Amino acid sequence: MTEDDATMILPTVSGGAANGPAAADDTAVFARVDTGPAESGRALIELDGVGMTYPGPPPVEALKPVELRIEDGEYVAIVGPSGSGKSTLLNLLGLLDAPTAGTYWLDGHDTSKMKEAHRTQLRADKIGFIFQAFHLMAHRTATENVAMSLVYQGVPKRKRRQIAREKLELVGLSHRLDALPTTLSGGERQRVAIARALAAGPSLLLCDEPTGNLDSRTADSIMATLDELHAEGLTILIITHDHEVAERAQRAVTIRDGQLREGNHLHDDGHHTVPTDRASAGTLVMPKAP
Ligand SMILES: Nc1ncnc2c1ncn2[C@@H]1O[C@H](COP(=O)(O)OP(=O)(O)OP(=O)(O)O)[C@@H](O)[C@H]1O
């Protein structure tokens, strides 16, 4: 198991604006001092005027400057049609890319002041990723796939394997510890991916269409697992265009043409709108004028 292997766990983001104007001084990581009015919870994610313009040519403003607050322990779905900016937002929230405008606070850290190495470490410490296509390493066992995610944390090999086994047991795969991904069903592969995402004890689970490759019954059981993780206190953010997946979340936010709006407005005929009074204490403010 090498660090090169570990870097393969995350897909690379091409054509983005990483290391753009947001990257600055690696030493400047400020803990945010909350001097505002008392909030009902602690913000895990705060976007302050965060925007993303791909340089092009021609330049594409994929995310207009937005404000978004997600509190620790929330379960939020971001819904939007194709091309609305979901992947752009996911890449920013997951620290896979840096915004070209605004400030992103993750768990009190101003990520826009960080250099890439620091962002990578913060990402490994705080965020677990689940992708539609699982992104498992084909020639590694389930245990190895999970254990590799801990290489960045400097966890000794023996401990990595122990944690991997524990997480695989947690998602119901104690009988498949040494299985290769090709011998697992789609649902089992996604469970390995969930175990991997949980290995480092993240604060945030970022899920990109987690059931997109699964039949409806398997999808339901994966969503039930996410429900349980949320009940145990994990903050979960799902990016999806699937209405049923979005409805399982506590709160929905719609993205359209790079702009955010509270509630599920994926089908704007009014029949599928999730009332915002289902939302928890998190707040979202309409984007500022550019
Ligand atoms: N690297 C890039 N360079 C230039 N434009 C880009 C780049 N990546 C995305 N875009 C554009 O930004 C907009 C938002 O794209 P994004 O991939 O975030 O949408 P999406 O909602 O994830 O779409 P889908 O659901 O189809 O994956 C689109 O107009 C897209 O063409």
pLDDT tens per residue across span 256-284: 999 999 988 877 654 444 433 333 333 34
- Residue 276 Cα to ligand 1 midpoint, Å, equals 27
CA-CA-CA-CA dihedral for 67, 208, 85, 200, to nearest 10: 50
Closest CA to 205 of 175, 166, 177, 171: 171
Q: Is the CB of 59 under 6 A from ligand 1?
A: no
**For residue 89, is pLDDT > 50?**
yes
Whether the predicted interface score ipTM is above 0.95: yes
Cα–Cα dist 256/253, whole Å? 10
Q: Which of 119-123, 156-160, 268-272 has the lowest mean pLDDT?
A: 268-272
Substitution candidate for ligand 1 out of 14, 52, 53, 54 with most atoms within 8 A of CB: 54
Contact between 221 and 44 (Cβ < 8 Å): no
Q: Which long-range contacts (CB under 8 A, 24 or more apart) does 150-157 make?
A: 150/199, 150/200, 151/1, 151/2, 151/3, 151/5, 151/6, 152/3, 152/6, 152/120, 152/121, 152/124, 152/200, 153/124, 153/125, 153/200, 157/1
pLDDT at 267: 76
pLDDT band at residue 113 under the 50/70/90 scheme: confident
Stronger pLDDT, 6 or 175, i.e. the higher one: 175
Substitution candidate for ligand 1 out of 60, 245, 254, 260 with most atoms within 8 A of CB: 60
Q: Which atom of ligand 1 is nearest to the CA of 80?
A: 21
pLDDT at 244: 85
Q: Is the CB of 82 under 6 A from ligand 1?
A: yes
How far from chain centre, in Å, is Cα 73? 14
According to CATH, the topology of domain 3-285 is Rossmann fold (3.40.50)
The first and second tokens of residue 287, run together, are: 């984007």
**For residue 70, is pLDDT > 60?**
yes
How much is the mean pLDDT over the chain? 82
Substitution candidate for ligand 1 out of 66, 79, 84 with most atoms within 8 A of CB: 84
On the 0-12 / 13-18 / 19+ scale of CB atoms within 10 A, 179 is middle
- Residue 201 Cα to ligand 1 midpoint, Å, equals 30
pLDDT at 40: 60
Q: How many residues does the chain have?
A: 290
Stronger pLDDT, 144 or 113, i.e. the higher one: 144
SS percent in the chain: helix, strand, coil, step 5: 30, 25, 45
pLDDT at 41: 78
- Residue 32 Cα to ligand 1 midpoint, Å, equals 31
The first and second tokens of residue 203, run together, are: 């604060």
Q: What is the mean pLDDT of residues 94-121?
A: 93
pLDDT at 141: 97
Substitution candidate for ligand 1 out of 86, 97, 209 with most atoms within 8 A of CB: 86
Cα–Cα dist 63/246, whole Å? 21
pLDDT at 56: 85
Q: Which of 4-8, 83-87, 255-259 has the lowest mean pLDDT?
A: 4-8
Q: Which atom of ligand 1 is nearest to the CA of 89?
A: 18
Q: What is the mean pLDDT of residues 120-137?
A: 92
Q: Is the CB of 87 under 6 A from ligand 1?
A: yes
Cα–Cα dist 76/250, whole Å? 6
pLDDT at 36: 34
Three-state secondary structure call for residue 47: strand
Q: Is the CB of 51 under 6 A from ligand 1?
A: no
pLDDT band at residue 32 under the 50/70/90 scheme: very low
